Structure 1
Amino acid sequence: MTQTVTTEEELREFVKFSATVTGFSEFDLWGTGQAEAYYETVVAQQGPDALRRAISSDLSAVPSDPVVKSIIKLWYVGVWYGPELTGRVDVAAWTAPGRSGAKPAVPDDSRPEESLSGQAAPGQEQAGEDRAEAEERKPPFVVSPDAYTEGLLWRAIGAHPAGAKAPGYGSWANPPTLENH
């Protein structure tokens, strides 16, 4: 990943926006130590214009913005998933054997969206742009060594990442306690 030059103001705007869409305070987000890494990831993967559009978007439209969804996932689990495609997703490509060691969810010959020849079934054609986008899509990746342990997911469910943070060994034997956020 290439380094992105960040101005303090852009980073602050990113964190302020992220606080709005994640439901956590800016203080909590800064406390993860991941703000700059996450900002740089979004800019490197989507470009500064896409980030500016997301930040300046109408908050009522946020749930439908794929870049915003990716930013939310990034803060919660520390993984960059990239925006979902707007058209039909190529299920076969994402459930194929060898993809993270997973086997297909359903046998190849029983997928309703594809015929046995591998062509899209009638009414399920994938637009050329979406197909090109699907072929260029990068697999998800963990943004930094600390991203997993600093994910907001753990605070949201009142738990700790197993084996990575206090209280340590055996902590998963007790039910989580929920905090007010």
Structure 2
Amino acid sequence: MSAWYEQEGTARFLAVSAELTGWSADELLATGRAAEYRAVALRELGPEGLEQVLRDGARPGAPLDGARALALLWYTGSWALGDALPVPVSARAYQEGLVWRAVGTHAPGAGADGFGGWSQPPVPGGLG
């Protein structure tokens, strides 16, 4: 595949992911997970399924399993389609899950605050 195709595909993937998650494409790109998540979605949904999600997003009347799975992936670093149990795609994906940013903390066991850091109150305003 050409570099143009990869860049264009990632831009579309980020735009739809932003629509599904409520975070900007730049914020999603800053997680460093865009290429990994796009590869997971392509592997799990197949080319036609991923294209359907990219085309339809979460518009009314669209099949939502793929869109839900993609939003779950961004928020938790785990993949689950339909009623399947979520499966983490990588340790880094878990650490970069949007859920931790949304609640203003980091993933348990992944912060630099050391032993007993869990006992300290959160920093006002979250992680930034």
**Structure 1 length-normalised TM:** 0.59
Unaligned runs of 5+ in 2: none
Residue 39 of structure 1 aligns with an amino acid whose one-letter code is R
Aligned equivalent of 2:78:
79
% same residue: 33
Which of the two has greater helix per residue? 2
Distance 1:169-1:45 versus aligned 2 partners, 3 A rule: same
Number of residue-to-residue matches in the alignment:
124
Aligned equivalent of 1:146:
92
Task: Give, in whole Å, the separation in 1 of the partners of 2:24 and 2:70.
Answer: 15
Aligned equivalent of 1:13:
12
**Structure 2 length-normalised TM:** 0.81
List per-residue Cα deviations over 1:136-156 (Å, max 9, x = no partner): x6x542212301100001000
* Residue range with higher mean Cα deviation, 19-28 or 60-69: 60-69
Unaligned runs of 5+ in 1: 86-136
Distance 1:63-1:161 versus aligned 2 partners, 3 A rule: farther
Asked whether 1:29 is paired with 2:25, we answer no
Residue 172 of structure 1 aligns with an amino acid whose one-letter code is W
Residue 142 of structure 1 aligns with an amino acid whose one-letter code is P
Instruction: Pick the structure with greater CA Rg.
Output: 1
Higher relative contact order (CA 8 A, sep 6+): 1
8 Å contact from structure 2 (residues 58, 67) kept in 1: no
RMSD after superposition? 2.7
